[in-house]
Amino acid sequence: MNIFDNLKTTLINCFNDLYNKDITTETISFQYTREEFKGDITLVVFPLLRFTKKSIQESTKEIGDYFISNNKYTNGYNIIKGFLNFEISTTYWIKFLDNILPNKNFGYKQTNKDSDNIMIEYSSPNTNKPLHLGHIRNNLLGFSVSEIIKANGKNVIKVNLVNDRGIHICKSMLAWQKWGKNSTPESTNKKGDKFVGDYYVLFDKEYKKQVKELISQKIPENEAKKNAPLLLEAQEMLRKWENGDTQTVELWQKMNSWVYKGFDQTYKKLGIDFDKIYYESQTYKLGKQIVLDGLKKNILIKKDDGSIWADLTNDGLDQKLLLRNDGTSVYMTQDIGTAHQRFNEYNLSKHIYVVGNEQNYHFQVLKLILKKLNYNWADNIFHLSYGMVELPEGKMKSREGTVVDADDLIDEMIYTAKIKSQELGKLDGFSENEKNKIYQQLAMGALKYFILKVDPKRNMMFNPNESIDFNGNTGPFIQYSYVRIKSILRKAKQNNISTKTINEKIKICEKAKKIIKTLYKYPETINEAAKNYSPALIANYAYNLAKEYNQFYQEYQILKEKNKDLINFRLNLSKKTAEIIKSSLALLGIETPERM
3-state SS of 305-351? CCCEEEECHHHCCCEEEEECCCCCECHHHHHHHHHHHHHHHHCCCEE
Number of domains in the chain: 3
- State whether 364 and 441 are in the same domain: no
Helix (H) or strand (E) holding 275: none
pLDDT at 377: 97
Q: Are 339 and 366 in contact (CB under 8 A)?
A: yes
Question: For the domain that residue 305 is a member of, what is the CATH number?
Answer: 3.40.50.620
94 within some domain = no
Q: Are residues 489 and 346 in the same domain?
A: no
Please report how the helices 535-555 and 510-520 are oriented relative to each other, as an axis angle in degrees rounded to 10: 160
**Domain shared by 421 and 383, yes or no:** no
403 in a structural domain: no
| pLDDT number for residue 397 | 46
CATH number, domain containing residue 506 = 1.10.730.10
203 Rama class: left (phi>0) / alpha (psi -120 to 50) / beta:
alpha
Pair 289, 434 in one domain: no
398 within domain boundaries: no
Domain span including residue 288: 122-390
**In whole angstroms, what separates CA 58 from the centre of its chain?**
48
Maximum pairwise Cα distance, the chain: 93
- Which segments in the chain show pLDDT lower than 70? 1, 392-403
Whether 468 and 567 share a structural domain = yes
Would you say residue 178 lies in a domain?
yes
Asked if residue 560 belongs to a domain, the reply is: yes
Provide the pLDDT for residue 1: 65
Is 222 within a domain?
A: yes
Residue 465 within any structural domain of the chain: yes
62/145 same-domain check: no
**199 plus 61 within the same structural domain:** no
How far, rounded to the nearest angstrom, does the alpha carbon of residue 190 sit from its chain's CA centroid? Answer: 31
**For residue 464, what pLDDT is reported?**
75
**Is the same domain home to 431 and 286?**
no
Rg, the chain, Cα only: 30
Question: Quick one: 264 and 379 in the same domain?
Answer: yes
* CATH number for position 42: 3.30.1360.70
**How confident is the model at residue 398, as a pLDDT?**
42
Q: Are strands 308-311 and 381-386 parallel, antiparallel or unpaired?
A: unpaired
- Shared domain for 371 and 462, answered yes or no, is no
Do 383 and 460 lie in a common domain? no
Residue 200 lies in a domain: yes
Choose among 96, 154, 88: nearest CA to 120: 154
In this prediction, residue 327 carries a pLDDT of 82
Q: Are residues 375 and 507 in the same domain?
A: no
Last-in-domain residue among 88, 113, 147: 88
